[in-house]
Amino acid sequence: MVSMVAFFKALVGFVFLMGMMMPAFSYAEDLTIARMVGSPALDGPKVNGLKLAPDGSRVTFLKGKERDFRIQDLWEYHIETGETRLLVDSDDILGGVAEDLSEVEKARRERQRISASGIVQYQFSKDGQSLLFPLGGDLHVYDIKAGKAKRLTETEGFETDAKFSPKGAYVSFIRDQNLFVVNVKNGVEKQLTHEGSGPVLMGMAEFVAQEEMDRDTGYWWAPDESHIAFTRVDESPVQVVDRYELSENGGVTTIAQRYPFAGTANVLIELGVVSLESGEIDWINLGEEKDIYLARVNWLPDSRHLAFQRESRDQKRLDLVFSHISSGKQWVAITERAESWINLHHDLKFLENSDRFIWSSEKSGFRHLYLHDLEGREIGALTAGDWVAAKLERVDGEAGAVYFSGFKDGPTERHLYQATLEPDPQSITRLTKEEGWHDISLSDDASVFVDSYSAPRTPPRVALKTIKGDLVTWIEKNELDADHPYAPFLDHHATSSFGTIKAEDGTDLYYELMKPADFDEAKTYPAIINVYGGPGVQRVRKSWSIDFDQILTRNGYIVLKLDNRGSANRGKAFEDVLYRKMGHSEVIDQVAGAKYLAAQDYIDGARIGVYGWSYGGYMTIHLLAQAPDVFKAGMSVAPVSDWRLYDTHYTERYLGQPDAKDEASKAGRDVYAEASVFGHLGDMKPNSLRLVHGMADDNVFFDHAVKLMSVLQNEGIGFELMTYPGKKHRISGEATRAHLWSGALDFFDRKLKP
C-alpha cells in the first residue's frame, strides 16, 4: 500500500488520503499540544467578521497576525481588482502597547465569547465609505477613500457598544453607563441620558440579556435617525455576591458582582425613546407585569412605531408588541406559548413599503418562517417540514425571495436556501452546493453572498458567490499546500465518519467518530467521548476542526461526539425531554453512545473516558457517577454542580423556579436536587475525576467547584484538581490552554492506557 501511494505521488503529484486531497509532500511531524494552540493557526488564515460593503464593492474582514492569530487587524478584498490589502494595523493605533480594557468591556467580551484582541468589531457606514471600530478605549473611523483612520473620541472614559446611525451622520456609544452620540463631521458630542450610575444602566444590556438571551446591546436607532430607543436597567434588586478572584500573581481581589441566582430577583427594566433633537424621553408601556424579560427591540420602517418582545418570567409566553411612540397606542401582534419554554430568535423582518412582516416560530414543532400582516394575522407559512429553518438572512422584496440558513438536507450540515415571499413552503431551493457548514453574509441587494464554510476534509474557506451559488472569486481559498501551517501534520490527520444510533425511545441520535490515521482494525483502542449535551448547542457538525480530539487520535484514542436528546436543531420535542429533568435523558443517551463504542471489536469497552466543558463538565460528572461501570475516567472543566447557583434566565427556562408549584412539586419531586450532581456522587469511583476550573469565573462561579470538592472529600472520593488563577469561564491564553490540554492528555494516558 505504501509503495502504491508513493507511485501515485510520483506520477500525478497528488494522492487522495482518507478522502482529503493531499499535496505531494510528506512531513509526518508530530502535532504537539503547544503547536496546536500556538501561531500561526493550524486552520490556516483566521478570517472572521466578514462583511459585504453596502455598495457591493468590497468584502472586509478581521484577520489575525502571523505572529499571534489572536491579535486582529482590519482587511479588505476589493471585488473589482481582486486585491487583498490591510486597512488598519492595530499595532499602529496602539503603538505596540497592550490594550487595557475597562471592566465593562472585559465583561462584554466574556459574554460574547470574544477571546481575540486588537480590532474585534467594526461596522460600515450606510454609504459604505467609512468603517467604525473601537480600539484602545476610543472610537476610530476609517475613511476608505482617504485610506486612513481618524480618532473620533479621546477621553479618559471607555466607549463601548459603538454604532453608526442608520444614515451615517452620527456615531452612538455608551460611556460611564450613559448613552452618547457624536456628530461624525464636526466631532460634537451630545449626552442623551444622565441617570446612569451605580446600579442604574442606561442603554446597556444586563447580565442575563448578554449571557443567555443573545442580546448584547441596550439601545436601537430609529431608521430616520430622529430617535433612539434605549433600556433603563435598575440592578438594585439583584443580589450582590462577593466573588473572590485569585490572580496569577497570588493576589486575591473581592469582586462585588450582581448575579441573579435561580429563583431570586432580576433587574427592573424600562424602555425609553429619546429624541435626538430635543432630548425629550417618552417611556414605553411594557405592561402591568414588571417581572419580565425584554428580549428584543426593533423599529418599524416608519420610525414611528416600535416593536418589542416581552417574555414572561417562566419563559412560557412571548408577546410581540407594537407601540406608537408618541400616542402610546399599543397592540399585541403575536403571542407564542409553550408548555415547556419559548426559544428566542432574531427572525423579525418588516417588509419595505408593505404592511407585512416575517416572523419565526416553533409552533409546528420545528422552527419555520411565517408571513404576517401588521395586525399579527398569519398570511401563510414560508417554510415547513420536519427540519429547522435556523436563521432569516435577507429578504428581496422586488424579487419576491426570502433567504435563510437551515437544515433541510439533514441536521449535520447547514446551508443557505431560498424561499418565496408569497407563501409556498414547497418552493425551496438550496443555494450552497458544497458539503459542510456554511455561514452566510448577503449583499444588501441580495445579488451575491459571502460564503464562509468548511467540511471535515476542507479547512475554512471564504468565497464570493452569485445568489445562485456559483463561484465569483475566492477571498480566502486556504488550500492545503506545502506552505499551509497544517501541512507538516497532514499525514496523521484523523477525519470523521458520521452515523446514527437509536435512543431508548427510537429517536435517531447523530454521532461523529474519529479514528487514528493509522487505524488498524485488528487492534483494540481506548475511546473517549467529547461531550456537551446541553440545550441550544449542536456538536455533531460536518465542519473542519483541529483541536484536542486530533491530539487524542494521534495518541491512540478513538473519539466520539454524540448529540443527545435535548441538543439543538432537531425540533422542539427533541429538546423538550430536558424540561424539569436535566441530568437524565442526556445522560442515558451518552451512555448509549459509550455502549455503542464498547460493542465495536476494535474498542476496549473497559477503557472508555469522557471530557467536557461547562454543561459538558456537568455531564462528565453525571456520567462518571451514574455510569461508573461504563466510564473509567473523565475530565470536567468549569462544571455547574448545583443549578441553584446558576442564573435565572438559563436555569429557570429548563427547570422552572426552585419553588415552582407544579405537577412535579406536587408529586414530591425536587427537580433542582435531581438535576444537581450531588445525589449521584456516592457511586463515583475514586480517582476517576479530574476537575478543572478558572478561579475568576464570573459565569459558572468557582463556588460550584468548591462545593463539589467539599462533597467529594466528605464522601471520601479521591479526585484530581487543577485550578487556574485569574482565569474566567473560557480559561483562555496560549500557555494556559497548553497546560490544560497537556494535563488532560496525561490524565487519560494514566487512566486508560495499559
Is 408 within a domain? Answer: no
Whole-number percent of the chain with pLDDT over 70: 95
The string of pLDDT tens digits covering residues 238-268 is 999 998 887 777 788 898 999 999 999 999 9
The set of residues, in sequence order, having a beta carbon less than 8 Å from that of 733 and lying 6+ positions away, is: 727
Burial class for 530, CB neighbours closer than 10 Å (0-12, 13-18, 19+): buried
Q: Which of 239-248, 469-478, 489-498 has the lowest mean pLDDT?
A: 239-248
Q: Which residues are catalytic?
A: 614, 697, 729
The b/e string for 201-217 (b: 16+ C-beta within 10 A; e otherwise) is bbbbbbbbbbbbbebeb
Model confidence at 592: pLDDT above 60: yes
Q: How far, in Å, CA of 724 to CA of 417, rounded? A: 44
Confidence check: pLDDT of 105 > 70? yes
Question: Does any domain span residue 162?
Answer: no
For the CA atoms of 568, 569, 574, 577, what is the dihedral angle to 10 degrees? 20
Rounded CA separation 659/436 (Å): 44
Which of the four pLDDT bands, split at 50, 70 and 90, describes residue 723? very high
- Percent of the chain beyond pLDDT 90? 88
Q: Which residues contact 528 (CB under 8 A, 6 or more apart)?
A: 552, 557, 558, 559, 560, 608, 609, 610, 611, 748, 752
Task: Provide the pLDDT for residue 82.
Answer: 92
Position 23 in a domain: yes
Q: Average of pLDDT values for 514-542?
A: 98
pLDDT digits (tens, 9 = 90+) for 561-588: 999 999 999 999 999 999 999 999 999 9
Mean pLDDT confidence for 633-640: 99
Confidence of residue 15 (pLDDT cuts 50, 70, 90): very low
* pLDDT at residue number 95: 86
| DSSP output for 122-149 | -EE-TTSSEEEEEETTEEEEEETTTTEE
Answer whether residue 624 is part of any domain: yes
27-80 pLDDT tens trace: 568 999 999 999 999 999 989 999 999 988 999 999 999 889 899 999 999 999
Does residue 17 carry a pLDDT above 60? Answer: no
Q: Is residue 609 part of a domain?
A: yes
What does the pLDDT read at residue 526? 99
Residue 435 — very low, low, confident or very high, per pLDDT cuts 50/70/90? very high
Helix (H) or strand (E) segment spanning residue 748: helix 734-752
- What pLDDT, on the 0 to 100 scale, is given for residue 107? 87
Burial letters for 377-411: b for 16+ Cβ neighbours within 10 Å, e otherwise? eeeebbbbeebbbbbbbbbbeeeebbbbbbbbeeb
Nearby residues of 1 by Cβ (< 8 Å), 6 or more positions away: none
User: Residue 175 has what pLDDT?
Assistant: 97
Q: Is residue 727 part of a domain?
A: yes
| pLDDT over 60 (residue 14) | no
The most distant pair of C-alpha atoms in the chain lies apart, rounded to whole Å, by 82
Please give the model's pTM, rounded to 2 decimal places. 0.93
The yes-or-no verdict on residue 21 having pLDDT over 70 is no
How far is 329 from 310, CA to CA, in rounded Å? 16
Whether residue 415 is predicted with pLDDT greater than 50 in this model: the reply is: yes
- pLDDT for 3 equals 36
Question: Which segment of 59-63, 104-108, 127-131 scores lowest on mean pLDDT?
Answer: 104-108
The span from the first CA to the last CA of the chain, in angstroms, equals 30
Mean pLDDT, rounded, of the chain: 94
pLDDT at position 160, please?
95
Give residue 665's pLDDT band: very low, low, confident or very high (50, 70, 90).
Answer: low
299: left (phi over 0), alpha (psi -120 to 50) or beta: beta
Does 459 map to a domain? no
Q: What is the pLDDT of residues 172-201, one digit of tens each?
A: 999 999 999 999 999 999 999 999 999 999
Number of domains in the chain: 2
Range of the domain at 729: 493-642+677-752
**How many residues in the chain?**
754
Residue 662 lies in a domain: no
333, 373 Cβ separation under 8 angstroms: no
pLDDT at 629: 98
Handedness of CA 66, 69, 71, 77 (dihedral sign): positive
Percent of the chain as helix, strand, coil, to the nearest 5: 20, 35, 45
> What pLDDT, on a 0 to 100 scale, did the predictor assign at position 29?
81
Q: Looking at the predicted structure, is the pLDDT value of residue 336 above 60? A: yes
CATH code assigned at 606:
3.40.50.1820
